[in-house]
Amino acid sequence: MPSPMRFLAIASLFLAVSAVVPPGKQGALDQPVDDTPAPTPDNDAIADTAGQVNQKSSVPVTAVPSDNVPATTVTALDGDLVNATVASVVDSSSRRRKRQSSQPGEYVEIFYPLAPGVHDASIEGTAYLTYTVVNNATYNIKDCLAFCDKVDGCEFVNLYYEFNNELLDFVFSEKSNLKCAAYGDIHTAAEKTNFGGQASYPQVGNETVPLTYITQSSGWAAKDLTDPATPEGFSLVFGPTGGANNAPGYMGFAFLDRYDPEACAALCNGRGYDPVGGVCQYFNIWRAVVDGVPTTYTCSMYYLVADNSTAVNFGQGDLVVTLSRGYARNSVVIDGGFEGFTECDDFCFDTSYKNWVGTSQAGGDDDATIFFFNQYAHTGHGSGLLGAAFGDDSDSGTLTPAQPLKTKAGRNYVVQVFVNNAFSGAQLEAPAVVNVLWNGKVVGSVKGFQQYTPEQFNVVATGYDVLAFEGGAAPAWSFIDDVFVALL
């Protein structure tokens, strides 16, 4: 005979079980409705930080001519000024590809040189990339534009003579003082603010050192600002427009030293997980123009995918939003939200539909099912259930996408799934477990009572990978939703 204490425990467990109406009978999900609005961008912080950065530069007097463009740098992160490479602020698993170079293009002259001999000024502007010197037997526009054609990301060149630069006059092999500076953005005569005035020649005795000065500074822009390549693993959602997103699911922002969607994609992929919303699934990149002058390039990250309908921040004060584009991160899971299950429009469930397949163990009944019921879903109306839908056995079930995933062999992916182990309450759900399987191998587990929470697992693809979620043992049911598998 059981002790009174043990008897009580058994009795209360039995009571609790019998009190739980199973999911198959439309029992209540133990998850309060979350009314907290998802965060939207802090536009004041962005504008304030834009007022602090200085991303303008011209060719340093001592720079060596080079075709090499240094990597994009991050100049601010979430409101703090920094000077960092993209790689240094993201997980090492994120990778960068080489940018596509622009097509040899037509150019238009944006501003003209002053007369020979008259002191002029070179551009001090954003997105300076690198420079070369071209043969100075003539005012050699042709070679300068050809240089722009071969420099990654070049959209604009500034051609000018620089006098009294010892390196140009005596040290560098080219023996030319005709500088051709490449930029990733277009600049106007209003930005001709570098008049030289630096001492480059050595001091000899008590003679006055001649200072550098500039003549005949002209500016040439690629006729069309080339459409940037869409970063791998992303799709262009909208743009370019003059509106930045004011959308929910905002995770923070970075400033880049040039308009570089690839760099923004790498920041999104490497962004940490939001505890409520999970991984970054969308970014909005735009150029801030202050008083008519390009000032910085904002990369805003989101855990919810936005679109043009919320791209309604056109700027504030002197700051104008330009070249705004939105990109969504692609998931290789078709219908990870179970929204394609539409056998009814209120409440129903099934063991499979075209995008997902549920499997029960031998002798088990409805151990893995797909539900149409918005009260069980993390978002929308679809969700997956592990554990017998009517609670008539305690076997685990398996849910798997109907098709293997179209992954790229050898690449790293993140698997994200929202898991709810809360249906029957803390006590009965304590033993709940959802195993995440990648090609049949358990790569992670979600154990114990929890309401919908995003969970992440890193995997390596072999190509046509099979993802599965296995678990549930009624009354320790588990719901899954919003399955997302993306390149890192």
Q: Using CB under 6 A as the criterion, which residues of the chain lie in contact with ligand NAG when the complex forms?
A: 83, 136, 168-169, 175-177, 205-206, 241, 243, 308-309, 311-312
Q: Which is nearer to ligand NAG, 311 or 328 (CB)?
A: 311
Residues ≥6 apart with Cβ < 8 Å to 350: 341, 343, 358, 369, 370
Which residue, 141 or 357, is less far from ligand NAG as judged by CB?
Answer: 141
Question: Toward ligand NAG, which CB reaches closer, 241 or 359?
Answer: 241
In whole angstroms, how close is the CB of 107 to ligand NAG at the nearest point? 23
Q: How far is the CB of 154 from ligand NAG (least distance, A)?
A: 20
Q: Nearer to ligand NAG by C-beta: 2 or 197?
A: 197
Q: Are 406 and 413 in contact (CB under 8 A)?
A: no
CB of 450 to ligand NAG, least distance (A): 37
Nearest-approach distance from CB 55 to ligand NAG, in angstroms: 8
Tell me how far apart the alpha carbons of residues 133 and 180 are, in angstroms, rounded to a whole number: 6
Output 168 or 428, the one with its CB closest to ligand NAG.
168
Smallest distance, ligand NAG to C-beta of residue 241, A: 5
- Tokens 């358990």 locate to 442
Nearest-approach distance from CB 458 to ligand NAG, in angstroms: 30
| Least distance to ligand NAG, CB of residue 186, Å | 21
Q: Cβ closer to ligand NAG: 134 or 288? A: 134
Specify burial of residue 380 (Cβ count, 10 A radius: 0-12, 13-18, 19+). middle
CA distance 107 to 116: 23
- Residue 357 Cβ, how far from ligand NAG at the closest point, in Å? 39
Please state the closest distance from residue 190 (CB atom) to ligand NAG, in A: 22
Q: What is the 3-class SS of the chain, one letter each residue?
A: CCCHHHHHHHHHHHHHHHHCCCHHHCCCCCCCCCCCCCCCCCHHHHHHHHCCCCCCECCCCCCCCCCCCCCCEEEEECCEEEEEEHHHHCCCCCCCCCCCCCCCCCEEEEECCCCCCCCECEECECCEEEEEECCCCCCCHHHHHHHHHHCCCCCEEEEEEEECCHHHHHHCCCCCCEEEEEECCCCCHHHEEECCCCECCCCCCCCCCCECEEEEEEEEEECCCCCCCCCCCEEEEEEEECCECCCCCEEEEEEECCCCHHHHHHHHHHCCCECCCECCCEEEEEEEEECCEEEEEEEEEECCCCCHHHCCECEECCEEEEEEEEEEECCCCCCCCCCCCCCCCCCEEECECCCEEEEECCCCCCCEEEEECCCCCCCCCEEEEECCCCCCCCCCEEEEECCCECCCCCCEEEEEEEEEECCCHHHHHCCCEEEEEECCEEEEEEECCEEEEEEEEEEECCCCECEEEEECECCECEEEEEEEEEEC
Q: Which residue is nearest to ligand NAG (CB)?
A: 177
Q: Which is nearer to ligand NAG, 29 or 311 (CB)?
A: 311
Least distance in Å: CB of 128 to ligand NAG?
11
In whole angstroms, the minimum distance from the beta carbon of 168 to ligand NAG comes to 4
Nearer to ligand NAG, 9 or 71 (CB): 71
Cβ proximity to ligand NAG, 242 vs 431, nearer residue:
242
